[in-house]
């Protein structure tokens, strides 16, 4: 018997079988159960895939207990300090940090794809003017496949690169157009002399009648939001992208599927929930009441933006973004606005109160990113859209990794059937005449 195996015994029959253990570079080892049904006639039951590795990946590593997040082996702290979102996108896609020429070529390639087909402009105008921007994003990104169908051979590396560059270039434009359409504002075309983040803010907020300037502090704060949300291992939306990709679907359909999954409030709506909480508290004098409710075990109320499902002790992204958040609030002179005073006091309490410390209810990345987006004047309806923009870098990287993985097969989860075993047909309609 190999030491790098595990033996599974069916205690009902006494039958047992050995299964290989696959060791990762770092992290939890995995039992290879691909032969479980063949050897023991069993499936595994794991709702939500809490203990199931669905793929091998070289892209992102998370250690929730230690508060570690790495892209391609690089600590998120170093990338946030030294990199731009474009550089991080290159790293996620190609596995290495770019040299100067690679960076310039990659950046220029993205800029060449910022414009969208004029037919898409008409498509956007067909949506109701009160349509949620995420609804527009799902529809328009999916519709890209009807306009850019020259690169559907996903086995061709050049086609994969072209599709990824188009998505990275066009999604900020589509996002800005969805916002302006919802608010009755004229469309603004991208300016390729601006950086990635600056260009997005320009397309969002500028008017033809006056000059628009983007604050460097605001740009950097938004850049951090993008970097910190670029990828996060096999979450719901990324898994959706991979599952869609496993069927051979075109990349635009796969990313649209990821956006649809992200739209769920349990996934992409966390920073929006933070702002709604702050609006509900409404006045600094009311903070203690809500703190007491959060501590009351008989009250279902909980503070949004505190603690994290994955990061048990601290969210490394929150530590990074906190400084940028405070710098932005100081520059925009919002310190006396009730919402931001409430946020400041909640942060202080969470970091000092033993109740929060003992339960690891620390401010997470959603707490600070929500405040940043609010301070920048971005409406709540756009929060998840911006999340989708950032996560596109991770999605296209995960998509490309899957379609080039020779071990991958079309996704086909099994089920634990709990319905009727077999029933005989009974005609209950009697003399019923459908006419």
The CATH number assigned to the domain with range 5-63 reads 2.20.28.60
In whole angstroms, what is the distance from residue 34 CA to residue 409 CA? 12
221: number of Cβ within 10 Å: 28
CA–CA separation, 214 vs 274, rounded Å?
Answer: 25
Task: Say which of 366, 405, 427, 433 is annotated catalytic.
Answer: 366
Residue 79: both structure tokens together: 């990338």
pTM for the complete prediction? 0.92
Question: CB count, 10 Å around CB of 183?
Answer: 13
- Give the Cα-Cα-Cα angle 304, 306, 310 (nearest 5 degrees): 115
Helix (H, G, I), strand (E, B) or coil at 312: coil
Sign of the alpha-carbon torsion through 69, 73, 78, 83: negative
DSSP class of residue 381 equals G
- Asked, colleague to colleague, whether 5-63 and 74-208+233-263 share their fold, the answer is no
| Residue 308 appears among annotated catalytic residues | yes
**Helices (DSSP H) in 41-155: which residue ranges?**
76-82, 85-94, 100-111, 118-125, 133-147
The residues near 1 (Cβ < 8 Å, ≥ 6 apart) are 7, 18
**pLDDT value at position 334?**
60
The residue behind tokens 């190999």 is: 2
Residue written as token pair 């060449």: 112
Closest CA to 176 of 255, 88, 116, 250: 116
Query: Could you say which of 3.40.50.150, 3.30.10.20, 1.10.580.10, 1.10.569.10 is the CATH number of the domain covering 74-208+233-263?
Result: 1.10.580.10
Q: Please, what is the Cα angle at 101 between 156 and 203, to 5 degrees?
A: 80
HEC profile of 201-260? HHHHHCECCECCCCCHHHHHHHHHHHHHCCCCCCCHHHHHHHHHHHCCCCHHHHHHHHHH
Helices (H), 263-300: 270-281, 287-295
Per-residue pLDDT of the chain (435 residues; tens, 9 = 90+): 557 999 999 999 999 999 999 999 999 999 999 999 999 999 999 999 989 999 999 999 999 999 999 999 999 999 999 999 999 999 999 999 999 999 999 999 999 999 999 999 889 999 998 899 999 999 999 999 999 988 788 889 999 999 999 999 999 999 999 999 988 899 999 999 999 999 999 999 998 888 888 889 999 999 999 999 999 999 999 999 999 999 999 999 999 999 999 999 888 988 899 999 999 999 889 999 999 999 999 999 989 999 998 998 889 999 999 989 988 888 877 655 788 889 889 999 988 999 999 998 999 999 999 999 999 999 999 999 999 999 999 999 999 999 999 998 999 999 999 999 999 999 887 776 766
Extract the tokens encoding 202.
């320009």
As given in the structure block, the two tokens for residue 407 are 């071990």
Q: How far is Cα 207 from Cα 211, in angstroms, rounded to an integer?
A: 7
Token readout for 44 is 């595994």
Find the helix packing angle between 383-403 and 133-147, rounded to 10°. Answer: 40
DSSP-based three-state secondary structure for 247: coil
Per the CB < 8 A criterion, the answer to whether 36 and 19 are in contact is yes
According to the model, what pLDDT value does residue 336 have? 56
On the 0-12 / 13-18 / 19+ scale of CB atoms within 10 A, 132 is middle
Phi, psi of 22, deg, nearest 5? -100, 120
| pLDDT the model gives residue 309 | 86
Helix axes 316-331, 216-228, angle to 10 degrees: 160
Cβ distance 56 to 407 under 8 Å?
Answer: yes
In the chain, where the domains are located: 5-63, 74-208+233-263
| Candidate list 231, 308, 315, 405, residue with the active-site label | 308
């Amino acid at each position: 018997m190999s030491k790098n195996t595990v033996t599974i015994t069916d205690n009902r029959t006494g039958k047992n079988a050995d299964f290989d253990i696959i060791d990762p570079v770092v992290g939890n080892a995995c039992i290879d159960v691909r032969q479980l049904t063949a050897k023991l006639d069993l499936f595994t039951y794991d709702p939500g895939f809490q203990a199931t590795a669905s793929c091998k990946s070289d892209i992102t590593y998370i250690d929730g207990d230690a508060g570690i997040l790495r892209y391609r082996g690089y600590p998120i702290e170093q990338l946030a300090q030294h990199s731009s979102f474009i550089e991080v996108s290159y790293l996620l896609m190609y596995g290495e940090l770019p040299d100067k020429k690679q960076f310039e070529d990659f950046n220029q390639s993205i800029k060449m794809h910022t414009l969208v087909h004029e037919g898409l402009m008409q498509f956007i105008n067909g949506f109701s003017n009160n349509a949620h921007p995420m609804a527009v994003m799902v529809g328009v990104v999916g519709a890209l496949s009807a306009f850019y169908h020259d690169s559907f051979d996903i086995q061709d590396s050049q086609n994969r690169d072209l599709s990824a560059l188009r998505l990275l270039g066009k999604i900020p434009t589509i996002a800005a157009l969805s916002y302006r359409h919802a608010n009755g504002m004229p469309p603004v075309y991208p300016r390729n002399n601006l950086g990635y983040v600056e260009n997005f803010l320009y397309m969002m907020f500028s008017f033809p009648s006056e000059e628009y300037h983007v604050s460097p502090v605001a740009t950097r704060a938004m850049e951090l939001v993008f970097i910190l949300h670029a990828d996060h291992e096999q979450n719901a939306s990324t898994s959706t992208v991979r599952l869609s990709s496993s069927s051979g679907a075109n990349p635009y359909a796969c990313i649209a599927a990821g956006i649809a999954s992200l739209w769920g409030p349990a996934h992409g709506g966390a920073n929006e929930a933070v702002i709604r909480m702050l609006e509900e508290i409404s006045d600094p004098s009311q903070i203690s009441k809500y703190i007491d409710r959060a501590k009351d075990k008989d009250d279902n109320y909980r503070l949004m933006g505190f603690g994290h499902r994955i990061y048990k002790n601290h969210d490394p992204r929150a530590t990074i973004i906190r400084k940028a958040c405070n710098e932005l609030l100081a520059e925009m002179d919002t310190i006396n606005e009730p919402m931001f005073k409430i946020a400041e006091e909640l942060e202080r309490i969470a970091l000092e109160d033993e109740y929060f410390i003992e339960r690891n209810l620390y401010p997470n990345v959603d707490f600070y990113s929500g405040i940043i987006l609010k301070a920048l004047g971005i409406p709540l309806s756009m929060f998840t859209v911006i999340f989708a923009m950032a996560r596109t870098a991770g999605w296209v990287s995960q998509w490309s990794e899957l379609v080039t993985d020779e071990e991958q097969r079309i996704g086909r989860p099994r089920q634990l059937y709990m319905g009727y075993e077999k029933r005989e047909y009974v005609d209950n309609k009697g003399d019923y005449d459908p006419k």
